[in-house]
């Protein structure tokens, strides 16, 4: 839109119309979509030589300053183990559906997988690929409004009002206007505690911005019709009874534990002595990446055997995670506390009752 307006004001209306035609063709060929109403109206205004287009003064509500950086994604620490096929499928869905949600329990690796998926396709988004971290927002009670979320996204994009005294502008409208002509990827991380605001913002944005793609992570889905949901599963466990070194190397859970243990303790080795104990620990931790990483950080201080023997007290033992990790991911207990806080009193009551089923249960047993 800005390019079309600038060309028209430079007495180059034919080029402005060519710009619109090229944009419309690209949308149709790449996404099977058509330009939004705002761009169509701008094309019509150019065709009728609307006097308003001659104004050089921009609309204060649309004046923004955009940062030069085109991404704030950072490479995940360490290798992303056991997610290759899933990453390829998530990237495919991101282009096919434009809205993908990675779901799963806390500590299963949703954030790391989302960042890796976004990095792999960032080059396809000339206007940027941006990570918006929602876990840090002060809205644990779900009270965030779509306007607040829009302001947060605008801040991440490096966009601010050029006329700070203007109080008439709606941040949702301003964000929609900024994104409408762009091809952008937004990664909204940890949506579970502000789901209502995310749903009320993302749906309209996808309608008004045909070049926008959104990847979200959440402990539950957004439940939007266009959404593709991808459950992020724990890592693959070694089969029971197979504790040989070469057999265990095929398990992604063992691979993650071994890589993180070796990073913290150069003396660590996966051999015939340590392999059976590591395999059992991976099974007892259910292949949960966060739990495996927290356990691996203890190898240097305790050694594999003592760590294995102490694992029954896992909530006290699995602490002291990486200092650059979110606080809720520094201990296993903190991760569970975060998930528990998202439940309402009725859901907490149901979960307490279900806790008597140590090995899980079927639906019929839960309903009794």
Rg (CA), the chain: 25
Q: What angle, 0 to 180 degrees and rounded to 10, lies between the N-to-C axes of helices 37-47 and 2-9?
A: 10
Number of neighbouring beta carbons within 10 Å of residue 113? 23
Domain assignment present for 250: yes
DSSP 360: -
Domain finish residue from 318, 341, 358: 318
Q: How buried is 190 (Cβ within 10 angstroms: 0-12 exposed, 13-18 middle, 19+ buried)? A: buried
Alpha helices, H only, 131-288: 146-157, 171-179, 195-208, 245-248, 252-264, 275-284
Residue 78, sorted as left (phi over 0), alpha (psi -120 to 50) or beta, turns out to be left
183: helix, strand or coil = coil
| Interatomic CA distance for residues 70 and 115, integer angstroms | 15
Is 142:196 a contact under the CB 8 Å cutoff?
Answer: yes
Answer yes or no: do 118 and 190 share one domain. yes
| Interatomic CA distance for residues 11 and 79, integer angstroms | 53
Which residue is listed with tokens 């921009």?
Answer: 58
Answer yes or no: do 164 and 97 share one domain. yes
Answer yes or no: do 198 and 288 share one domain. no
pLDDT at 69: 52
pLDDT at 54: 66
Domain assignment present for 65: no
Q: What angle, 0 to 180 degrees and rounded to 10, lies between the N-to-C axes of helices 13-31 and 2-9?
A: 160
pLDDT at 64: 46
Domain assignment present for 78: no
pLDDT at 278: 94
Domain assignment present for 66: no
Q: Residue 48 has which token pair?
A: 């009728």
Q: Residue 151 has which token pair?
A: 């302001």
Domain that holds residue 26: 2-57
| Interatomic CA distance for residues 318 and 307, integer angstroms | 10
pLDDT at 30: 62
Domain assignment present for 357: no
| Interatomic CA distance for residues 125 and 93, integer angstroms | 15
Is 118:87 a contact under the CB 8 Å cutoff?
Answer: no
pLDDT at 39: 77
Whole-structure pTM value: 0.69
Answer yes or no: do 93 and 213 share one domain. yes
Q: Residue 53 has which token pair?
A: 């287009």
Answer yes or no: do 211 and 281 share one domain. no
| Interatomic CA distance for residues 276 and 283, integer angstroms | 11
pLDDT by residue for the chain (368 residues), tens only, comes to 777 777 777 777 777 787 878 777 776 666 666 777 777 788 788 777 777 776 544 444 444 444 445 889 976 666 789 999 999 999 999 999 999 999 998 889 999 999 999 999 999 999 999 999 997 765 555 568 999 999 999 999 988 654 344 444 789 999 999 999 999 999 999 999 899 999 999 999 999 999 999 999 999 999 999 999 999 999 999 888 887 899 899 999 999 999 999 999 999 999 999 999 999 999 988 899 988 988 898 899 889 999 898 887 665 555 554 444 455 444 455 556 645 555 678 877 776 777 777 666 777 777 66
Q: How buried is 319 (Cβ within 10 angstroms: 0-12 exposed, 13-18 middle, 19+ buried)? A: middle
Q: Residue 231 has which token pair?
A: 């459950």
Answer yes or no: do 207 and 103 share one domain. yes
Which residue is listed with tokens 């990486």?
Answer: 322
> DSSP readout, 232-261?
PPPPPPPPTT---HHHHTT-HHHHHHHHHH
pLDDT at 311: 80
| Interatomic CA distance for residues 283 and 7, integer angstroms | 63
Answer yes or no: do 104 and 205 share one domain. yes
Answer yes or no: do 134 and 222 share one domain. yes
Domain finish residue from 196, 231, 266: 231
Answer yes or no: do 156 and 30 share one domain. no
Domain assignment present for 102: yes
Domain assignment present for 238: no
Domain assignment present for 278: yes
pLDDT at 178: 92
| Interatomic CA distance for residues 285 and 317, integer angstroms | 12
| Interatomic CA distance for residues 156 and 132, integer angstroms | 7
284 CB-near residues (< 8 Å, 6+ apart): 311, 314
Answer yes or no: do 216 and 181 share one domain. yes
Number of domains making up the chain: 3
What CATH number does the domain containing 175 carry? 3.40.50.300
Answer yes or no: do 98 and 224 share one domain. yes
Answer yes or no: do 50 and 116 share one domain. no
* Backbone CA torsion sign across 86, 90, 93, 99: positive
């Amino acid at each position: 839109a800005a390019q079309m307006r600038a060309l028209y004001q430079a007495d180059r209306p034919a080029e402005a119309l060519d710009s619109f035609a090229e944009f419309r063709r690209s949308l149709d060929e790449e996404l099977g979509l058509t330009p939004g109403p705002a761009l169509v109206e701008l094309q019509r205004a150019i065709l009728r030589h609307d006097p308003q287009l001659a104004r050089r003064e921009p609309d204060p509500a649309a004046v923004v300053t955009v940062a030069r950086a085109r991404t704030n994604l950072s490479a995940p620490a360490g290798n992303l183990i056991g997610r290759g096929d899933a990453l390829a499928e998530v990237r495919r869905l991101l282009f096919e559906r434009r809205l993908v949600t990675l779901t799963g329990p806390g500590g299963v690796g949703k954030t790391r997988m989302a960042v890796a998926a976004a990095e792999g396709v960032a080059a396809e988004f000339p206007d940027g690929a941006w990570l918006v971290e929602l876990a840090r927002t002060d809205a644990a009670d779900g009270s965030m409004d779509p306007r607040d979320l829009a302001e947060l996204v605008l801040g991440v994009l490096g966009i601010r009002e050029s006329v700070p005294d203007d109080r008439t502008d709606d941040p949702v409208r301003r964000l929609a206007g900024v994104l409408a002509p762009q091809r952008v990827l937004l990664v909204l991380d940890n949506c579970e505690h502000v789901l209502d605001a995310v749903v009320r913002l993302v749906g309209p944005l996808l309608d008004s911005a045909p070049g926008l793609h959104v990847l979200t992570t959440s402990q539950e889905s957004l439940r939007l019709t266009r959404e593709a949901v991808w459950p992020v599963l724990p890592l693959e466990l070694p089969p029971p009874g197979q504790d040989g070194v070469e057999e265990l190397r095929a398990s992604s859970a063992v691979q993650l534990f071994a890589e993180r243990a070796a990073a913290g303790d150069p003396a660590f080795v996966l051999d015939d002595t340590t392999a059976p104990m590591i395999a059992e620990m991976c099974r007892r931790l259910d292949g949960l990446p966060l739990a495996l990483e927290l356990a691996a950080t203890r190898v240097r201080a305790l050694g594999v055997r003592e760590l294995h023997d102490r694992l029954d007290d896992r909530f006290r033992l699995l602490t002291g995670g990486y200092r650059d990790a979110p606080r809720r991911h520094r201990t296993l207990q903190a991760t569970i506390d975060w998930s528990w806080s998202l439940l309402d009193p009725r859901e907490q009551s149901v979960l307490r009752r279900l806790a008597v089923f140590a090995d899980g249960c079927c639906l019929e047993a839960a309903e009794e």
